[in-house]
Each structure stands twice: as C-alpha cells, then as structure tokens.
Amino acid sequence: MGILQGQVPFFPSFYAAKWATQGGHQYNGRALTRQEERRPDLLQILGVGFGIAVTVGGTVGVGILRTPGLVAEQLPSVWAIVTIWIVGGVYALLGTISVVELGTMLPSAGGWYVYARHAFGNYGGFTVGWIDWIAQSAALAYLSTAIGEFSVALFPAIPGGVRSVAIGTLVLFAVLHWLGLRSSSWTQNLTSVLKGVALIAFVVVCFLYGRSDAVPSLATAPRISGGLIAVVVAIVVALQSVIITYDGWYTAIYFTEEDKDPTKNLPKSAIGGVLCIIGIYVLVNLALVYTLPLSELAGSTLPAADAAQRIFGGDGGRIIIALSLLSLLSVINAVLLLATRILFAMSRDGLFFSKAAEVNPRGTPLLAMVLTTGSAIVLVASGTFETLIAIASFFFVTIYISGFLALFILRKREPERPRPFRVWGYPWPPLIALVGSVAFLVGSVFGDPRHSAYALVLIAASYPIYIAVTRYAVKRSPAPEDS
C-alpha cells in the first residue's frame, strides 16, 4: 500500500464504524482537535518479511550463545538438553498463537498494552504498558552495554571504553529511527538475515569440523543424577533459562497498525518467526553437544566461544565475539522500535503526554523514541539497569499472564467481535501457556525473592504515576475544537 495518503490520521479499523455512525472525527470516544487531525500517520508499509525479521531479530541474541552451558549444567544428558529446548519452543508457540488472535482482533500499535487496556480498563493497560516500557528500556541499556563490552574486547583502544560505545550505539540507532520506518525496517530485515545466516554457518562448521571424541551417543547419554526432587529442581532451573532465551517471540504484535494487512500477515510472520527460532535454537544446541564434551559444555559461560576455539584455535573467541555483536544489533533495533510504540499508544489514548503520540512525516513517533532512547542512556550512564535486568523476567512473564487472561476475558465479554484468527484448539493453548507462566512466576518469587520484591514495588508504583500522568495529560491537552 505504501505511505498512506491524506492528512487524516490512520487509526485501527475497528474504530471506523464508530466514526461512520457518530459522524465526527473521534478516537476512543474523544473528539479530535484540528491539530490532531493534521498529524502525520504511522506508515502502513510493513509485511510478512518484516514480521519474521523482527520476531527472529528481537528474540535471537547472545542468549543462545551462552544459555546452553547453563542448561547442560542442570541436565547432563543430550536427550534432556534437546528436549528442554523443544519444550521451551512449544511454550513460545502456544503463547504466539494465543496472542495472534488478540493482535488480529485489535490491530493497533502498542502490543500487550492494547490488550490489557481493552480487557482491564485504563489503569490495567497503563500498568502493563508501564512495566513493559521499563523492561524494554532496561533491555536497551543492557544490550548497548554488551555491545560496548564486546567492542572493547575486539578493539581495546576505543576511546571512552564501554559506556561511550554503548551511548554512541543508542544515539546511532535513534538517528536511524528518526530517518523513518523505511530505514529502520530495512535495517531490521538486513541484520536479522545476516544473523540467521551466521548462526546457520556456525552450525554447519561445527558439524563439519567439530566432532568431539568425548561426545556421548544418544543411546548412551547419561541420566540426571539425584533423587526425584533434585531432578525436578534441575528441570525447572533449566526451563527458566530456556524460556528467558525465547523471550521476544511476541515482537511482531507491536507493529500490526503499520502492517499492510495485519489480519493475514500477523499469523504468518509471528508463527513463522517462532518456528524459525525453534529451529535455530535446536540446531545450535545439537552443534554444541556434537562439538564439546558434556563435561565441558556444562557450566561454560560462553560455550559457543569454546566450540569455536576448538575448531579455529585462538581466533575462535574473536569470531564468536563478532557474531555476538551482529546478534545484538538486530535486537537493539527491534527493542527500540517496539518500546517507542508502547509510549506512542499510551499517549494516543490519553495515558501519557499527548506530544509523545505525534509522528514525524517518515512514520516515527519522534518524542516517544527520544524519551525511550534517553531513558536507556541514563540507565547506561548510571549503571542502574543491572537491577532492572534482574527483574525483567518477572515483568515479562507478568505481561504474558495479562495477555492470556485478556484473551479469555474478551472471548467471554465480546463473543461477536470479529476474530480473523482464532486460537487452534481453544482453550487449551492459552490455558497451558497461562499455567506455565504462573508456575514460572511462582518459581521466580521463591528462587529470587529480593528481585521479585523490587518488581512488585515497581508494579505498585504504577498507580500514583498513573494518577499524576493522566491528570497532567488531561489538564494539558487542548480543548476539542469544532470540526
């Protein structure tokens, strides 16, 4: 479809009937000002290719190069290692087909926030948007700092060290996004393809040159030692690491408003992207257990580097550092894109400052992007992102739970609403994903009570912030004008 024509803002199609019947320019029941009617739109130019690229690019990062060692430490069995990665992939797939129904039913920018607001009201939506945006901003700080660390490892003489590289990376991506959705989406497509090709090349090289004499056959793989309780604990700990590595499977839902045909494209891109991720993760793990003895794989902090060093010698570590850098670029681009859409959507709905809902002519919510980038830079400079990263998994799983509950609530409350995609085998996929998410959350509370308490405090802080922000936003918003 290309760039949308005209000066009237693009809004989700499910509001069109309301305009037609009420005869005025409105959004969510609120009359639009003439200034709002003249704002440029989000560009409706994305398709399946971008959806797959942003799903893969926003999920596959350094985690798959590090986590296999943690999993092998808990489950010293080839069968168990491969199975736990498949189980994590099934969880991600069940979550994906559940959220795709919501995404095609409510094709609006903002992701989980949109569904929470529709199901639970303004405050419920604000809380989900608030913790989602905080977690994504912390992720940007963490990812950019990791780029700084890897860059300094490759080039120790970089002026300013890790923080200068991290902040410079965030500024560069902000400039890229200021240039518009076309440039940022093209970057997402390119970096995701390059990352996928690099990981597949790593797998091929491992199978061609990485055979370890100490690798056990599948038939003789050792069993997990210890009693039943020890086995259950090992499985839970390993599964937590795997689920965190799969985080990002939902990324495509943030961009449905910018998709040319979200009702057809979102199922293809979201489900196709997750299937690609499952394939990549399983293949990487098979390559690692083929190349490294289980005793060496278990507990390795960066097993991909150990495997590369076994094959390439002293240059192996540098190769994996370069691969890690490549992996991180596509993740940063995806996270900055989606975090910007969270603030944009909240602002458009009157739950944040209205200026953050303004879009530049190239399709970028400019102030929302600047605020997101700025918050990440502050976190990098202060180093406070480390605590937020420690509680991010709690936030993300809480957000998943809100989405699965929203699906059940909206099925019951609005059975007649058009659903271009319906969950296969409903209610079992969202129910299984919901139970798994609650179990993960309970495990997090008992396994890390300190950071879980921090997370609960930040969630509770959403209420006074919601009151303050919405009162200010309402007070400062211009009075409606006659059309």
Rounded to whole angstroms, how far apart are CA atoms 64 and 284?
8
Rounded to whole angstroms, how far apart are CA atoms 70 and 89?
17
Q: Which amino acid is at 231?
A: V
Q: Which amino acid is at 322?
A: A
Contact indicator for 46, 3 with CB cutoff of 8 Å: no
Q: What is the mean pLDDT of residues 133-161?
A: 90
3-state secondary structure of 448: coil
Sign of CA dihedral 343, 345, 347, 352: negative
What pLDDT is attached to residue 389? 79
Look at residues 306, 326, 331 and name the one whose alpha carbon lies nearest to residue 316.
Answer: 306
Given pLDDT bands bounded at 50, 70 and 90, which one contains residue 15? very low
Look at residues 148, 186, 173 and name the one whose alpha carbon lies nearest to residue 332.
Answer: 173
What pLDDT is attached to residue 451? 86
What's the pLDDT tens digit per position in 269-280? 999 999 999 999
What pLDDT is attached to residue 27? 45
Query: Interior CA angle at 468 toward 465 and 472, to 5°?
Result: 135
The CATH class of 41-476 is mainly alpha
Name residue 365's beta-bridge partners: 359
Question: pTM of the full predicted structure?
Answer: 0.86
Is 37 a residue whose pLDDT tops 50? no
Q: What is the mean pLDDT of residues 137-143?
A: 92
The DSSP H or E segment spanning 471 is helix 462-476
Kindly tell me the burial class for residue 33, based on how many C-beta atoms sit within 10 Å of its own C-beta (0-12, 13-18, 19 or more).
Answer: middle
Is 218 a residue whose pLDDT tops 60? no
Is 25 a residue whose pLDDT tops 90? no
What pLDDT is attached to residue 46? 96
Contact indicator for 82, 275 with CB cutoff of 8 Å: no
Query: Interior CA angle at 309 toward 305 and 313, to 5°?
Result: 155
What pLDDT is attached to residue 113? 97
Is 1 a residue whose pLDDT tops 80? no
CA atoms within 13 A on the CB side of 223: 6
What pLDDT is attached to residue 127? 96
What's the pLDDT tens digit per position in 422-457? 999 999 999 999 998 998 888 878 878 888 898 999
Contact residues for 185 (Cβ-Cβ < 8 A; gap 6+):
45, 46, 50
Contact indicator for 246, 92 with CB cutoff of 8 Å: yes
What angle in degrees, to the nearest 10, is found between the helix axes of 462-476 and 449-460? 30
What angle in degrees, to the nearest 10, is found between the helix axes of 63-74 and 262-291? 60
3-state secondary structure of 365: strand
Contact indicator for 341, 371 with CB cutoff of 8 Å: no
Is 383 a residue whose pLDDT tops 50? yes
Given pLDDT bands bounded at 50, 70 and 90, which one contains residue 475? low
Mean pLDDT of all residues belonging to the chain: 85
Rounded to whole angstroms, how far apart are CA atoms 105 and 305?
44
For β-strands 26-27 and 30-31, DSSP reports them as antiparallel
Q: What is the mean pLDDT of residues 150-178?
A: 92
The backbone region for 362, taken as left when phi is positive above 0, alpha when psi lies in -120 to 50, beta otherwise, is: alpha
What's the Cα-to-Cα distance from 94 to each of 191, 266, 338, 346, 424, rounded to whole Å? Answer: 27, 15, 21, 27, 9
What pLDDT is attached to residue 5? 28
Phi, psi of 215 (to 5 degrees): -75, 125
